[in-house]
Amino acid sequence: MLKRHDPDPNNWSTGSAPTWEFYFYGITGQRLVTVDCVPSGGAIPSCSIVGQNVYFGTKLLVSNGVNVVTDRLGSVRGNSIGERFSYYPYGEERTSTVDGRDKFATYFRDGVGQDYADQRYYNASMGRFWNSDPSGMKAANAGIPTSWNTYAYAHGDPINRYDPSGLDPVSPVCPPDDPCPVDDGGNPCDDDPTMMGCPGYGGGGGGGYQPGGGNDPGGGGSPIPCGQGNPNLTSAQQNLGNVTFGSLDSAQQLVFLAITADAAQAGVSLTGYLLSSASSVWIAGSGQPITELNLTLAAAAGFNNLTTSIAGNFSNAGWDPFHPGGFGTGGNWRQDVPVNSMQITALPQGSQIQIDIDPHNPNIFGGSDLVGMFGHIGDVIHNTLTRKDTNYSKVANALKLNLYNCN
């Protein structure tokens, strides 16, 4: 990459010799060496190295020959010559230091409003790139509305994401063996690195999400913060077990724990029902259209216990066309809360029930609550486009459910 220092290289007005600056980048897109060249009186200019960068993996250690300290986004915050740097969220500098060096979120700041972002230029004063993403709308993710603006920086979240390449916002807290593009659909931490079991989760938990678990096609791993251990199931959870908890994959375990813990908290009786097989825990996108906990009636009194326990706290919601296989024809109830509302649908006589938790309740206040109604419509559109369903880690966090009492 060439940057011309002298705007008048032919000496017509300045009377000075022209100077050119060359930046050399490695195959990873990291700037390695800066070289200045000036005329030497012959055909070949005189060139010299004026700066070198040193990295440890992706972390900048030396910028133009000066030792630097960077934060989690890759922004330079201090150096060995005593300078300190601070920034507003989108990269405007709060301190006053010279430009022409590495500054905000791995970018090289040529000048005010001109940050070199590898594949395009970024304007920290405006909080957006100078030009649209070269991939156009192909770079947009239907499930992430902020990605539809192809000029936006880090999908509008400069605190939790950055964009080293200028093309793909990533999270700095996701596992090192998953580059975490927010739209790759594999690692659930990509959608929310602060959710339960992920590295950014504030409630603790060892190890974080292991790529390959649940609906990640890689296989293996578990988001449960017990590591290699298992949570201590309550007696009610154990009584549902016709299958061992360990036979469920990580995504199924999370759904089972969240729904059964919320049922206990809401006073819903599941006594008399069983989880008949691992395949009874549906995960959207993994061979099923929606995420549901399916239970089978094992004792005649089970359905009566269920309907009695939800009286006064749940309302009849009418048939729901999004539940396949006749579920809802035996009853369909929604918990009377506006958000994170449990839904229970049943086959006739309660021979089988499906349970899920929806972020918004379209039936709250008799369907007159527009936030609940339109929120639910938005959830359905999002789930249809992304082939996903409720994020049960977010539900557990919001409801403060105690899922993991680890051994």
pLDDT per position as a tens digit, 387-404:
788 888 888 888 888 776
Residue 11 lies in a domain: yes
pLDDT tier at 155, thresholds 50, 70, 90: confident
Average pLDDT, the chain: 79
Find the domain containing 286 and state its range.
235-399
In 224-282, where do the E strands start and end? 273-274, 281-282
Return the percentage of the chain with pLDDT > 70, whole number. Answer: 77
Of the three residues 129, 160, 182, the one that is the final residue of a domain is: 129
CB count within 10 Å of CB 16 equals: 12
- At residue 224, φ and ψ (nearest 5 deg) are -75, 130
Whether residue 105 contacts residue 91, with contact meaning beta carbons closer than 8 Å, is answered with: yes
pLDDT digit string, tens, across residues 325-336: 667 778 899 999
Q: Provide the pLDDT for residue 212.
A: 32
Q: 169 lies in a domain? A: no
Q: What percent of the chain has pLDDT over 90?
A: 30
pLDDT digits (tens, 9 = 90+) for 264-304: 999 999 999 999 999 999 998 888 888 999 999 999 899 99
| 249 and 391 housed in the same domain | yes
Residues 252 and 384 in one domain: yes
Residue ending a domain, choose from 75, 99, 129? 129
With b meaning 16 or more CB within 10 Å and e meaning fewer, what string describes 291-309? bbbbbbbeeeebbebbbeb
Pair 122, 255 in one domain: no
Number of domains forming the structure of the chain: 2
The type of residue at 100 is G
Do 383 and 256 lie in one domain? The reply is yes
Strands (E) in 257-399, as ranges, are: 273-274, 281-282, 292-297, 314-316, 331-335, 339-346, 352-360
**pLDDT given for residue 86 in this prediction:** 92
Residues 227, 207: Cα–Cα separation, whole Å? 6
Q: How far apart are CA 102 and CA 76, in angstroms?
A: 7
CB hemisphere CA count around 297 (13 angstroms)? 17
Single-letter code of the amino acid located at 164 = P
On whether residue 59 sits in a domain, the answer given is: yes
Which one of 83, 109, 129 terminates a domain? 129
35 assigned to some structural domain: yes
Residue pair 21/3 in contact (Cβ under 8 Å)? The answer is yes
Residues β-bridged to residue 62: 54, 67
- Residue 183 is assigned to a structural domain of this protein: no
On whether residue 292 sits in a domain, the answer given is yes
HEC per residue, 60-95: EEEECCEEEEECCCCCEEEECCCCECCECCCCCECC
Do 388 and 239 fall within a single domain?
yes
Pair 249, 115 in one domain: no
Global confidence as pTM: 0.50
What are the residues facing 275 on neighbouring strands?
A: 241
Domain annotation covers residue 9: yes
240, 114: one domain: no
SS3 350: helix
